Structure 1
Amino acid sequence: MGCQHTRDVGHGQPGVYHTVKHHQTFWRICKTYGVDMDEVARINGIKDKSKIAVGQRIFIPGATKVLKVDIYVEDVTARERSTAVRYEKGKFIWPVEGTVTATFGTNEKRRHDGIDISALEGSPVRAVDSGKVVYSDNKMKGYGNLIIIEHQDHFFTIYAHNEENVVKEEVLVKRGDIIARVGKTGNATGPHLHFEIRKGSNPLDPMRFLP
């Protein structure tokens, strides 16, 4: 890990420096240490949480030692051989029945890394494909109850603002399994699902993969 001793930064805040390794993501690092993503991003001056670099040193406030961060990969070599994105309509099923109220992209106000689907509160949210639940919690500011699933070929899907998460971390789910219920937790003005598809840490337009 190199020289990553406990030290003070800022206003004398104790913590450690974590050096980013291949395939580690910002959310997984913060989850491992049990710290708030927005707070860590603010302290480290990170503007885009999806773009951290291998070798980058991230200060983790309050931590007393450097922890091992799992990357949840079975075949890293195979993933590195296939980094190009092939868009395929119907690759994933719709996560919920509802109406798309916000699309992917950047407008004059903000960047939107997914789509918002308005639906009745309590409606079932389904896994869009088989995979492993790598996050099921509510520690990421603004997202409320959040689920992240890892799929084959380094795809991740993200389901936010859930009324409740009905699956736990490390659970293997099948395509179409109910994983959550639509809600309005976090920064949500009404019941809806915020849904993202990522290849590694790169956000992709979900509409290019849904039927």
Structure 2
Amino acid sequence: MKKLWPLILCVMMLCGCSHIKSGQYVKLVKDNDLLKLSDAYDVPVWIIESANPGKQFLKGEWVFVPTTTGLMGGYDQWGLAESPTYHIKKGEFIWPVPAGKKVSSPFGKRRGSPHDGIDIPAKKGSHILASQGGLVVYAGAELGGYGNIAVISHKNGFFTVYAHAKKLYVKKGDKVHQGSVIAQVGSTGRSTGPHLHFEIRYNSKALNPLSYVETP
């Protein structure tokens, strides 16, 4: 299955999502260093190119790297970036499926491939809650194997992802509160049974949800 975050970025760009205007500026230290830049920020090369019309991508140029993080006006010199700091305490996100009490597939490597979230099995139709309040930046089923999926943008560059839903109650642009019912547990997309695939991301980086959510 393809990586989720580049797919979300592509769909949001094609749909004209205003959040794609956020991102940060990066100073190139080599000519035509877009492939490394793409890998470092997990953003497709064509998106970087489309966000910088007229640029030649030469050493010393400042290039705008679009993200969905709200990091307007950030500056970074490629090759000298510092590791991100996650300004959030465990417990600020809530468990998203009250009816699901366990994790069937943890964060990390799974069958040799990265699993960027956790899977929470529950009865089909069980409520899925917004783990934290924020703005719905994507809601739909255009991402293939992930079925019905919602993405919520939170404060300080955090996002949560809710995949394989039976039904979505939210649409792009909706503001939700922590604990709002946003969907039903399902098995849409590439799924072997009813569950929620749940991710927490800081910018585009996937984090282990169990480090930020109090388990039931």
1:164 aligns with 2:167: yes
Deviations 1:47-92 (A, max 9, x none): 9797126xx3359xxxxxx9xxx86665625899993124622120
Q: Does structure 1 conserve the Cα–Cα contact (< 8 Å) formed by 2:67 and 2:204? A: no
2:8 corresponds to which letter in structure 1? W
Secondary structure at 2:190's aligned position in 1? Answer: coil
CA distance in 2, matches of 1:82, 1:49: 12
Within-5 A mapping of 1:163-182: 163-182=166-185
1:76 aligns with 2:57: no
1:130 aligns with 2:133: yes
CA offset at residue 33 of structure 1? 2.0
Deviations 1:78-109 (A, max 9, x none): 89999312462212000002121010001443
Number of residues of Structure 1 aligned to a counterpart in Structure 2:
168
Secondary structure at 1:207's aligned position in 2? Answer: helix
CA pair 108-167 structure 1, distance change in 2 beyond 3 A: closer
Q: Does structure 2 conserve the Cα–Cα contact (< 8 Å) formed by 1:26 and 1:52? A: no
CA offset at residue 149 of structure 1? 0.1
CA distance in 2, matches of 1:190, 1:49: 34
CA pair 171-58 structure 1, distance change in 2 beyond 3 A: closer
**Higher mean C-alpha displacement, 88-97 vs 142-151:** 88-97
CA distance in 1, matches of 2:40, 2:164: 19
CA distance in 2, matches of 1:119, 1:130: 22
Backbone CA RMSD of aligned residues: 3.4
1:51 aligns with 2:42: yes
CA pair 87-131 structure 1, distance change in 2 beyond 3 A: closer
Q: Does structure 1 conserve the Cα–Cα contact (< 8 Å) formed by 2:104 and 2:119? A: yes
CA distance in 1, matches of 2:172, 2:8: 14
Greater helix fraction, Structure 1 or Structure 2: 2
Q: Unaligned 5+ residue runs, structure 2?
A: 16-34, 54-65, 77-81
1:103 aligns with 2:94: no
The equivalent residue for 2:19 is none
Q: Unaligned 5+ residue runs, structure 1?
A: 1-23, 35-43, 60-65
CA distance in 2, matches of 1:32, 1:198: 19
1:188 corresponds to which letter in structure 2? S
CA distance in 1, matches of 2:103, 2:75: 31
- Which 4+ residue blocks in structure 1 deviate beyond 6 angstroms? 47-50, 78-82
Secondary structure at 1:129's aligned position in 2? Answer: coil
Matching residue within 191, 198, 204 for 1:201: 204
CA distance in 1, matches of 2:139, 2:210: 24
The equivalent residue for 1:32 is 13
CA distance in 2, matches of 1:75, 1:111: 26
CA distance in 1, matches of 2:150, 2:210: 19
Secondary structure at 1:102's aligned position in 2? Answer: coil
What is the TM-score normalised by the length of structure 1? 0.69
CA distance in 1, matches of 2:151, 2:39: 18
CA offset at residue 176 of structure 1? 0.2
Secondary structure at 2:145's aligned position in 1? Answer: coil
The equivalent residue for 2:86 is 85
